[in-house]
Amino acid sequence: MKLQLALVAVVFSASTTLAQTTLSPPTTPATTEAAATRPAFTLGKETTRIVAPLLADGRPDYVGALDQARSKGVTPENNVLVGLLEVLGTGPEMISQKIHDEYLKRLGITQEQKTTFKNFQAYLKEEGIEYSDGLQVQEDQAHKGRWNSKEFPEIAAWLAKYDQALDQVVKAAGRERYYSPLIATSERAQLIGVLLPSLGGIRGAANALTARAMLRLDGGQIKGCQADLIAAHRLGRLVMQGPTLIEKLVGMSIEGIAARGDITLADGLGPDAAKNYLAELGKQPTVEEVATSVDEVERFSTLDAVLAVSKFGAPSLVDSDGVAIAGDWGDTSQVDWDKVLKRMNGWYDRMVSAMRMPTFAERQTKMVALEKEIEEIKAAGVKASGLTATDPTERTTVALMSILLPSVGKARVLADRAREWTDLGTLAVALAAYRGEKGAYPEKLEALAPGYLKEVPKDIFADAPLKYRKDGEGYVLYSVGPSLKDDGRGAKDIVVRMSK
């Protein structure tokens, strides 16, 4: 999987970012014995953002810096990815041959691992069964509610075949770290061409766990169901430790599916079981904000690409398959590259600031305005790339911005949606514990704190209490969602309805 610039970060120590650990040296001209001429840029926070480590030609080694920071404290024994690869295998379906040997070396894997698990579609193909629309619907439903082998026989057979492999996935999920080596595949714009392992394989294993959890729940295997859901939560949150935005998004998807499983599990849990499960949920890894990815990996990708153009020209911007993503802009010898770098950093500062606004409404307002400006820049970039602008610095800046600036507003909304589902799942379990002890659901959510929760989470979107009301013997609990409109029923896909 390619690291795409436009994909919609990096988790280091608990409070230390890469910029803080590498920006202590003062601003100095970039010089190196290997460089034939003085580099056309200045190392510093306002320009290159980091000042070490450096490549032989004096450019910052962004890939190396990110990888060094991410690998600290990681061992084959505590890295969940090593455990997952023991199940998913180390073949080309998981790891590109371009990086295969070095990738395994950095992970500490000394021999090839065979695949012992296949996703549902691959299993059906092996069995000679067509992946019909009906089976696709069943696969989707298997994550969302109780089911049994009579209802979904093909899915039950798939899970039975890979039952031991899924037990290994549960065991692997108990590890504390997620580290996927970052390896450059180009000597020029390095971060654009970084390859990731198949995150689809990891997501497939997590999906299988949640499906097995719902099957076990229907069969009365409560502890087995809980173990599978907790493992899925951990996988999602561990993958979110990855240094790219795509890893964040995949982790969010896994976390959201696990949270929906929590809601199904909550229906019928006794008070002691519910309290114990709440305690387990509270022990899981914390979720890192998506703004970190934009602040570091996305920013570094852009700065790395700018510096590649400064040295090798626009044709140096190629993806991991060697396909050019920019044309020849002609002579750039008169470009003030420090100004270009500062402009790029200015844009990222604004994006990160917008993503970290305290409320969804504030974030949305800022991001919509920013993305409108970016679209205008991309339109202007067509003219700039046609060399109609007269100032070489402005012409090159606009052309680069039109290609490199990512659209990240949707990623922020997806992050908020995933968090909301996690909160709703936790509340559903807390409500089950309350009902088990008191005999009925509470009149208000505030009754859950501090006896069942330290505090009751607010609606992430509305920055106000979540909507909750008793409904007969059950309840309705919902967020107004990103529309911020309350129709009295809840957002279409962020609502919990419990019948009893």
* Sequential pLDDT tens for the chain (500 residues): 444 333 322 222 222 333 333 333 333 344 333 334 456 899 999 999 999 999 999 999 999 999 999 999 999 999 999 999 999 999 999 999 999 999 999 999 999 999 999 999 999 999 999 999 999 999 999 998 999 999 999 999 999 999 999 999 999 999 999 999 999 988 887 888 888 889 999 999 999 999 999 999 999 999 999 999 999 999 999 999 998 999 999 999 999 999 999 999 999 899 999 999 999 999 999 888 899 999 999 999 999 999 999 988 887 776 656 676 666 666 788 899 999 999 999 999 999 999 999 999 999 999 999 989 888 877 765 554 444 557 888 888 888 888 888 888 889 899 999 999 999 999 999 999 999 999 999 999 999 999 999 999 999 999 999 999 999 999 999 999 998 888 766 556 689 999 87
Q: What distance in Å separates the CA atoms of residue 459 and residue 9, rounded to the nearest whole number?
A: 25
Residues forming beta bridges with residue 43, ordered by sequence position:
28
Domain ranges of the chain: 1-318
Residue identified by tokens 């989707």 is 140
67-98: per-residue pLDDT in tens? 999 999 999 999 999 999 999 999 999 999 99
Check: CB of residue 215 under 8 Å from CB of residue 142.
yes
Dihedral sign from CA coordinates of 383, 388, 391, 393: positive
DSSP 34: T
195 φ/ψ angles, rounded to the nearest 5 degrees: -105, 140
Per-residue confidence (pLDDT) for residue 316, from 0 to 100: 76
Q: What pTM value is reported for the model? A: 0.89
Q: What distance in Å separates the CA atoms of residue 331 and residue 314, rounded to the nearest whole number?
A: 10
Closest CA to 288 of 249, 260, 230, 232: 249
Q: What distance in Å separates the CA atoms of residue 396 and residue 222, rounded to the nearest whole number?
A: 61
Q: What distance in Å separates the CA atoms of residue 192 and residue 244, rounded to the nearest whole number?
A: 11
